[in-house]
């Protein structure tokens, strides 16, 4: 039987161990390659002593729902991982159960720092530590791998064999050109794009997350807002969905960025959240600040394209920090904070969020030096 002193020491050790496992060693944005759909998604990563967790940003704010977990015990890290031609900043993590995770940083310095911290955390794990984590995988279906979402979408659009759209009523409101969640699941199973209803829900969730499908009506919108990772798409005859309006813009040609804009020296680069001008939604973008000439460009890190998604000259620009108390005018969404605004010479307003207040001030200082 343990004495009171012995019991106290044991409890203290348990508390110390719990604090150690809950401590955050590093956190920030990385771009992760998916398992089911081999596309790239920006996620917020949190490095703990025994695992790497990742979360999604939704509407300008980090989800409280954990999107996945990578156990570090007996993990093998490859850095740099150079098999992706247009992505030289990738590192590869292979877990003890053989699952491979590909993560891209915003710069070589960031990539190498993540690799060093992950390696150090892995070395701290003794053979008896973390065993409960080893066989856990992120909640992807083992029967769905390397699905081409564009082909699934083309099949859904097919006039003869695609999913049928019609008008539906929900709580007294009529919604046109939509379909129920259970109809989507039925169709995916019938067309043999998914073997089971569970697989079909997983695939439909991927379509929704990619922006191919959108929730329509109260029930599906509420499910997307509040449900966990495996419950966002509803296999329900009363939950309504439709094709995303943004799909109508597929194939649009972007204006080419001039070579002069991209000729300057890179001063700073990093992942930031940018509010869209039309839809007012928040997206993670890779920002690159250049000097001589002074330009700020932003790239979509989920795409393999080497050209910027947009950018502007910093000549006569105004950059200012925004107060996080309340929502400033012109800002939309349930934002995280650390906001700043850039007004170009042409009076275009850019609203940007940094991951931390220190990064916000660093970006503001770096931009002001170029204006």
The pLDDT of residue 169 is 87
Residue 237: which residues within 8 A CB-CB, separation 6 or more? 180, 181, 182, 183
Q: What is the pTM of this model?
A: 0.67
Q: Quick one: which of 24, 36, 118, 45 has its CA closest to 76?
A: 118
The pLDDT of residue 93 is 93
The pLDDT of residue 284 is 94
In this structure, the number of other CB atoms found within 10 A of the CB of residue 227 comes to 14
Beta-bridge mates of residue 166? 178
Task: pLDDT tens for the chain, 371 residues: list them.
Answer: 445 555 555 455 444 445 556 789 999 999 999 877 778 999 999 999 999 999 988 767 787 777 889 999 989 999 888 888 788 899 999 998 888 999 999 998 999 999 999 998 877 665 544 444 333 334 444 355 556 777 888 888 887 788 988 888 888 888 888 999 999 999 998 888 888 888 888 888 888 877 788 888 888 888 776 655 445 788 888 899 998 765 544 433 344 567 788 888 999 999 999 998 887 889 999 999 999 999 999 999 998 877 899 999 999 999 999 987 767 778 887 788 899 999 999 999 999 999 999 999 999 999 999 98
The pLDDT of residue 11 is 52
The four Cα atoms 175, 178, 181, 187 give a dihedral, to 10 degrees, of 160
Go through the domains of the chain in sequence order and give each one's CATH number.
4-124 (2.30.29.30), 149-249 (1.10.10.10), 265-368 (2.30.29.30)
The pLDDT of residue 121 is 87
């Amino acid at each position: 039987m343990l004495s009171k002193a012995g019991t106290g020491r044991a409890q203290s050790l348990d508390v110390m161990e719990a604090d150690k496992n809950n401590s955050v060693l590093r956190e920030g944005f990385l771009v992760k390659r998916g398992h089911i759909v081999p596309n790239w998604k920006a996620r917020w990563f949190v490095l703990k002593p025994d695992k790497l967790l990742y979360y999604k940003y939704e509407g300008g704010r980090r989800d409280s729902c954990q999107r996945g977990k990578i156990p570090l015990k007996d993990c093998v890290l490859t850095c740099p991982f150079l098999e992706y031609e247009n992505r030289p900043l990738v590192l590869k993590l292979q877990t003890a159960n053989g699952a491979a995770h590909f993560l891209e940083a915003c710069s070589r310095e960031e990539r190498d720092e993540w690799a060093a911290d992950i390696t150090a955390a892995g070395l701290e794990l003794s053979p008896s530590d973390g065993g409960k984590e080893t066989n856990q995988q992120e909640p992807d279906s083992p029967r769905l791998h390397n699905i081409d979402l564009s082909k699934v979408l083309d099949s859904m659009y097919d006039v003869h064999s695609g999913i049928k759209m019609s008008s539906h009523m929900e709580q007294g409101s009529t919604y046109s050109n939509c379909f129920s969640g259970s109809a989507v699941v039925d169709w995916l199973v019938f067309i043999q794009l998914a073997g089971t209803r569970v697989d079909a829900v997983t695939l439909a969730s991927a379509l929704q997350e990619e922006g191919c499908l959108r929730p329509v009506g109260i029930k599906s919108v509420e499910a997307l807002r509040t449900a966990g990772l495996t419950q966002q798409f509803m296999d329900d005859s009363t939950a309504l969905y439709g094709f995303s309006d943004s799909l109508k813009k597929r194939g649009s040609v972007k204006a080419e960025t001039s070579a002069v804009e991209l000729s300057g020296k890179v001063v700073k680069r990093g992942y930031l959240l940018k509010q869209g001008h039309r839809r007012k939604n928040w997206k993670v973008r890779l920002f690159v600040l250049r000097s001589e000439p002074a330009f700020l460009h932003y790239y979509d890190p989920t795409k393999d394209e080497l050209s910027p998604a947009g950018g502007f000259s910093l000549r006569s620009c105004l950059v200012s920090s925004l107060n996080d108390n309340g929502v400033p005018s012109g800002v939309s969404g349930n934002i995280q904070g650390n906001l700043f605004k850039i007004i170009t010479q042409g009076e275009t307003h850019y609203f940007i969020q940094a991951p931390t207040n220190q990064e916000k001030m660093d970006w503001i200082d770096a931009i002001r030096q170029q204006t």
